[in-house]
Chains A and B, each alone.
Chain A
């Protein structure tokens, strides 16, 4: 089936008989670029009848040698671009140059773009269920990684408050350690709090890939529910500077750039600064000195919630040289300080608690395609994370109320969180991701990955240096090996089978007889191996109707604290097993256009998800004892559907909507506590509490060209976000009217962007939550109300 012809848009190509050399057979060469003139790496160029092909290098150049005389059908294809096909007559020693400019697949909407994936090199991921979100249309908005991700189907980010506050990321019901994060393929779980989803502005991001349930082997990790890979701007020469200012004294600066000389030497990086007082108003209860609520639901300004963070990521090295397509030495340095305003709910008010973090992360990236011989690609990403976190609770004898007044409690030892402390957590982590892939021919390819992680934590409390829990350092060594084989049955159908091995080694040392002659340190160790596997396949029923299915049996390895406890009241459990899950996705996407000149373009997609997670790790409940440990207790089944409908009319109007319904239910037959022992699970089959299950987004955008100035653009965007109300605790018990709920939320944002001189100068104005809804992600932790932001951006490519 040569269906691609229908869509093929060739802007420019030339066929030339430029020179003739004394080679024995004919050859074909040339450069492949996109519309903007950027070289496209990894484009496949195939002699269809001979089943022979090459891919372009980082400069977009390809060279197909040893072509026999005669007419051959040439096919050029690249994921996210319209493919190109042509018959060419080759003479006996013809040297034919064919330069091609590919056009991006014409359908482009903010949340569904699957584009820019280097075809064969990374093609193994294409059958996975991935939402790849391009930030192209968002560069002038004040969004950050968190806000972009929050619009992806299946993803919910629950935030405690404003900029810098704690957030819980959940993907199809999985959260915490069950979903792994990467920055350009480097695990970022331990990058320090200054480098989190809310502090990476949109200008540092090219796109974000969200892998649901099934994670490709090249992201070597132990993710139970999926992975998120944030890809920063990969262009070789550009500058992008932006500054935004807005409500609650929020300032955000972002400088991104890259310079590459003709020898391939490059310097690139980004710098980001975030500041906010977060002094937004919240609805609270006013209490008197005895603790009586004297007035309900009065507005109070948050007074101890300042957040500031700074991060810089500088890389230097070489790109597109003989010895490496990419060899980059980098360093990420970041720091933040975060005043903590409340406890788990707004009933507890803090006036002195501060969290701080600093991190220094040297990185090394190496990538070479066709190393030693054609078809062998290797890459290595390594990082050493040196992170220091501080929890400062040194203000004693004070209790704050919402007016910011401190009440004297008469204590000289009580901080606001408990006994006063100044705890430092020193984390050292080394991560390395090695990938090698080999393309046998058009049909077969193999990918190998080795992911390694070493993690070590030490704790020190300045105020309580002898505390036993702080004399319990622990280390973790994790190896994940992956092997994937991909087979292309034909142009329409491919399948990838993969296996992963998870090897974990944990170590802790415990000090005995502190301060005595017999003082000694004993080392405890535990090892485990597990094997996971999966399958991903994609089939085009029609040229514009794709079906995808993927399955993985996956593991999340326990952390050192979960296995060893804290040396005090969280005791060790050497029998702790990893969490495991069977994840299944089935989906379909369909593109079509109607109307004259096909100016009404549609894209609809739907994905069914099924997750059966077992052996989930929770702390054992104890009633009569303060002592507990971690154990494999829970079982959760998630069944869900995500759907999106997108529409575009010419270049003028775009509308994209998505809805997610996911029903996560408790499937554990028993609950356990030390009093009743194993007991019938009274919530068997019930929906998990405190978890959103129905939510959706809609975006509408109008694009106007040349308003006011020549080469200018005006964009007006409206965004809508909806989350159905959910219960804080299990739904089965209690009178409904007395149950704690997280109320239904609807928020509306408006954004206006104006660009002129071909996007060089940009101005954006944004109003978030313009209807001033009272928003909650978490129980009694109110988020900001209406807020305005203005953003200036200067960009050259």
Chain B
């Protein structure tokens, strides 16, 4: 016998099931338009410090989070539920009051992170490229400049960006053949002084990464702002300037003197070293190495050298000294490191008291100078910690724990 009731019931059940489907299908269509319109802001009132941290999944992918914090010395710094998310590979560097994040999943974006008038973190700029950008450096009051340089490519590309809105204003392609006939110049450092752009590089086989040319330092000099190639300056007192991925081959001081760091460290990607390590100087306004200046960092540090330098002021710089001598270094390890303050004029190395020996990250140095203090991140056996260095006393104090796989930058906005 046909039961009307049971039929009704079952029909209702089906209708409600369909209802679930149609309900979900009627949800806001605007959600479907995928675009990063940079409109989200992150409240940062009373939180002057900003940390970019990388979090690794067990599958090996990274996602980066940039989060504001009030204090770097207490508790745990976590990105749980907060901060700008950026999936892919990113590099962060602060120029003036903007953090430049360079990277992406596939294409390479340049996104500025800064504070607006309401004390919120905002993302500025909307620009992207197919080829990766190795670095962004300060060029002048209104301009930052980026460089794209791959040992597999025959072209180097500079791009100028307007600091105010992080928009690209000029692209300049330079043939590699203009400054070297060798295959494989790899980026190691860039600074812009008043009228010149200095670009340091080392020769690296694009396939094997072997470094077969380590007998002299080479720095390409370009005019600024025209970005015309001028010449290559060389010096055979040391080997190549800079190394793999750490981007600090060249630094400059407040007077536009440029310092060039040579280490040829196996720990930083050199398959051979044939010259002593040391620091050279290009005096302000000049475009040659100062033949009278040579900072023998091996002598000053007791047989070691550094691949990482951050200029602090008054001729002093923060350094991560590799405490393994070059013939003892493990290839590509970037460590073990000991933090120090070097005096580029007095040519001294003073190790910082209170920071344990730590592994190298192999990326851009993580260090924020805030007045007389410097904040860095140190990896210990049981996690990552902020260390606060008193630049006057040369001592350090352990701060907050960082809940991240590795730190990507510490900033203050």
Residues on A lying within 8 angstroms of B by beta carbon are 283, 285, 287, 289-293, 296-297, 343-345, 347-348, 399, 409-414, 416, 418-419, 467-469, 568-569, 594-596, 600, 602, 616, 618-627, 633-635, 645, 647, 655, 657, 666, 668, 671, 673-677, 679-683, 688-689, 696, 698, 720, 722, 724-725, 728-730, 732-741, 743-746, 748, 773-776, 779-780
Residue from the list A414, A679, A740, A741 in contact with B154, Cβ < 8 A: A414
Interface window among B58-66, B93-101, B225-233, B389-397: B58-66
CA distance A411 to B176 in the complex (A): 9
Residue from the list A624, A633, A689, A724 in contact with B363, Cβ < 8 A: A624
Residue from the list B10, B87, B267 in contact with A729, Cβ < 8 A: B87
Q: Is B105 a contact of A345 with CB atoms below 8 Å?
A: yes
Would A343 and B107 be within 8 Å (CB), given that A283-B33, A291-B129 are in contact? Answer: yes
Residue from the list A675, A681, A744 in contact with B58, Cβ < 8 A: A681
Q: Is A568 a contact of B25 with CB atoms below 8 Å?
A: no
**Separation in Å of the B337 CB from the closest CB of chain A?**
11
Q: Is B334 an interface residue (CB 8 A)?
A: yes
**Separation in Å of the B377 CB from the closest CB of chain A?**
11
Q: Which residues from chain B contact A689 at a C-beta distance below 8 Å?
A: 57, 61
Q: Is B154 a contact of A624 with CB atoms below 8 Å?
A: no
Q: Which residues from chain B contact A739 at a C-beta distance below 8 Å?
A: 85
Q: Is B369 an interface residue (CB 8 A)?
A: no
Of the listed residues A627, A634, A666, A740, the one surrounded by the most CB atoms of chain B closer than 10 A to its CB is: A740
Q: Which residues from chain A contact B106 at a C-beta distance below 8 Å?
A: 343-345, 347-348
CA distance A246 to B42 in the complex (A): 47
Chain B residue nearest to A416 in the complex (CB): B130
With A623-B362, A682-B404, A730-B55 given, can you name 15 additional A-B contacts, CB distance below 8 Å? A296-B37, A343-B107, A345-B107, A410-B155, A594-B10, A616-B59, A633-B60, A635-B58, A680-B383, A683-B58, A729-B61, A732-B81, A738-B42, A744-B27, A774-B32
Q: Could you show 17 A-B contacts with beta carbons less than 8 Å apart? A: A292-B127, A343-B106, A344-B105, A409-B155, A410-B155, A410-B175, A413-B152, A419-B206, A568-B207, A602-B10, A618-B59, A623-B406, A633-B59, A635-B58, A657-B17, A673-B406, A738-B84
Interface pairs A-B: 7 shortest CB-CB = A624-B362, A625-B332, A746-B25, A734-B85, A596-B2, A290-B168, A344-B106
Q: Is A596 a contact of B87 with CB atoms below 8 Å?
A: no
Q: Which residues from chain B contact A412 at a C-beta distance below 8 Å?
A: 154
User: How does the 8 Å CB contact mask read for B195-222 relative to A, with 1 for contact and 0 for none?
Assistant: 0000000000011110000000000000
Of the listed residues A409, A633, A725, the one surrounded by the most CB atoms of chain B closer than 10 A to its CB is: A409
Chain B residue nearest to A728 in the complex (CB): B87
Chain B residue nearest to A342 in the complex (CB): B106
Q: Which residues from chain B contact A419 at a C-beta distance below 8 Å?
A: 152-153, 206
User: How does the 8 Å CB contact mask read for B244-278 relative to A, with 1 for contact and 0 for none?
Assistant: 11000000000000000000000111000000000
Chain A residue nearest to B109 in the complex (CB): A347
Q: Is B29 a contact of A773 with CB atoms below 8 Å?
A: yes
Q: Which residues from chain B contact A292 at a C-beta distance below 8 Å?
A: 126-127, 167-168
CA distance A625 to B107 in the complex (A): 22
Q: Is B127 a contact of A293 with CB atoms below 8 Å?
A: yes
Q: Is B1 a contact of A596 with CB atoms below 8 Å?
A: yes
Chain A residue nearest to B110 in the complex (CB): A291
Residue from the list B60, B85, B154, B331 in contact with A738, Cβ < 8 A: B85
**Separation in Å of the B55 CB from the closest CB of chain A?**
5
Interface size class of B (residues with CB under 8 A): 35 or more
Residues on B lying within 8 angstroms of A by beta carbon are 1-3, 6-7, 10, 13-14, 17-18, 21, 24-25, 27, 29, 31-35, 37, 40, 42, 55-63, 65, 78-85, 87, 104-107, 126-131, 152-155, 157, 159, 167-171, 173, 175, 206-209, 244-245, 267-269, 331-335, 359-363, 379, 383-384, 403-406
CA distance A621 to B57 in the complex (A): 10
Q: Which residues from chain B contact A600 at a C-beta distance below 8 Å?
A: 7, 10
Q: Is B7 a contact of A621 with CB atoms below 8 Å?
A: no
Chain A residue nearest to B87 in the complex (CB): A729
Residue from the list B29, B80, B105, B267 in contact with A732, Cβ < 8 A: B80
Chain B residue nearest to A594 in the complex (CB): B6
**Separation in Å of the B396 CB from the closest CB of chain A?**
20
Q: Is B2 a contact of A296 with CB atoms below 8 Å?
A: no
Residue from the list B10, B21, B33, B37 in contact with A774, Cβ < 8 A: B33
Chain B residue nearest to A655 in the complex (CB): B14
CA distance A722 to B82 in the complex (A): 29
Q: Which residues from chain A contact B331 at a C-beta distance below 8 Å?
A: 625, 627
**Separation in Å of the B317 CB from the closest CB of chain A?**
21
**Separation in Å of the A695 CB from the closest CB of chain B?**
10
CA distance A345 to B36 in the complex (A): 13
CA distance A774 to B379 in the complex (A): 45
Q: Is A411 a contact of B153 with CB atoms below 8 Å?
A: yes
**Separation in Å of the A738 CB from the closest CB of chain B?**
5
Q: Is B14 a contact of A647 with CB atoms below 8 Å?
A: yes
Q: Is A748 a contact of B128 with CB atoms below 8 Å?
A: no
Chain A residue nearest to B406 in the complex (CB): A675
**Separation in Å of the B386 CB from the closest CB of chain A?**
15
Chain B residue nearest to A624 in the complex (CB): B362
Q: Is A676 a contact of B384 with CB atoms below 8 Å?
A: yes
Residue from the list B37, B55, B244 in contact with A682, Cβ < 8 A: B55
Q: Which residues from chain A contact B105 at a C-beta distance below 8 Å?
A: 344-345, 779
Residue from the list A596, A668, A722 in contact with B21, Cβ < 8 A: A722
Q: Is B34 a contact of A743 with CB atoms below 8 Å?
A: yes
CA distance A22 to B31 in the complex (A): 81
**Separation in Å of the A83 CB from the closest CB of chain B?**
27
Q: Is B170 a contact of A290 with CB atoms below 8 Å?
A: yes
Would A289 and B18 be within 8 Å (CB), given that A296-B35, A348-B106 are in contact? Answer: no
Q: Is B57 a contact of A285 with CB atoms below 8 Å?
A: no
Of the listed residues B3, B18, B79, B130, the one surrounded by the most CB atoms of chain A closer than 10 A to its CB is: B130
Q: Which residues from chain B contact A679 at a C-beta distance below 8 Å?
A: 383, 405
Would A618 and B153 be within 8 Å (CB), given that A682-B403, A720-B25 are in contact? Answer: no
Q: Which residues from chain B contact A675 at a C-beta distance below 8 Å?
A: 359-362, 379, 406
Q: Which residues from chain B contact A744 at a C-beta distance below 8 Å?
A: 24, 27, 31-32
CA distance A744 to B29 in the complex (A): 9
Would A740 and B87 be within 8 Å (CB), given that A633-B60, A683-B57 are in contact? Answer: yes
Q: Is A293 a contact of B57 with CB atoms below 8 Å?
A: no
Residue from the list B60, B173, B175, B383 in contact with A619, Cβ < 8 A: B60
**Separation in Å of the A513 CB from the closest CB of chain B?**
14
CA distance A291 to B159 in the complex (A): 10
**Separation in Å of the B385 CB from the closest CB of chain A?**
12
Q: Is B152 a contact of A733 with CB atoms below 8 Å?
A: no
**Separation in Å of the A133 CB from the closest CB of chain B?**
20
Q: Is A676 a contact of B405 with CB atoms below 8 Å?
A: yes
Q: Is B21 a contact of A671 with CB atoms below 8 Å?
A: no
Q: Is A735 a contact of B362 with CB atoms below 8 Å?
A: no
Chain B residue nearest to A595 in the complex (CB): B2
CA distance A399 to B153 in the complex (A): 14
CA distance A679 to B18 in the complex (A): 46
Q: Is B42 a contact of A735 with CB atoms below 8 Å?
A: yes
CA distance A127 to B201 in the complex (A): 65
**Separation in Å of the B401 CB from the closest CB of chain A?**
11
Q: Is B379 a contact of A297 with CB atoms below 8 Å?
A: no
Would A729 and B63 be within 8 Å (CB), given that A596-B2, A773-B29 are in contact? Answer: yes
Q: Which residues from chain A contact B175 at a C-beta distance below 8 Å?
A: 410
Q: Which residues from chain B contact A688 at a C-beta distance below 8 Å?
A: 59
Q: Is A776 a contact of B65 with CB atoms below 8 Å?
A: no
Q: Which residues from chain A contact B84 at a C-beta distance below 8 Å?
A: 734-735, 738
CA distance A775 to B25 in the complex (A): 12
Of the listed residues A347, A467, A745, A780, the one surrounded by the most CB atoms of chain B closer than 10 A to its CB is: A347
Residue from the list A287, A568, A683, A774 in contact with B208, Cβ < 8 A: A568
Q: Which residues from chain A contact B130 at a C-beta distance below 8 Å?
A: 343, 348, 399, 416
Q: Which residues from chain A contact B18 at a C-beta distance below 8 Å?
A: 657, 698
CA distance A476 to B219 in the complex (A): 49
Would A734 and B79 be within 8 Å (CB), given that A620-B60, A626-B332, A748-B25 are in contact? Answer: yes
Would A740 and B17 be within 8 Å (CB), given that A290-B127, A594-B7 are in contact? Answer: no
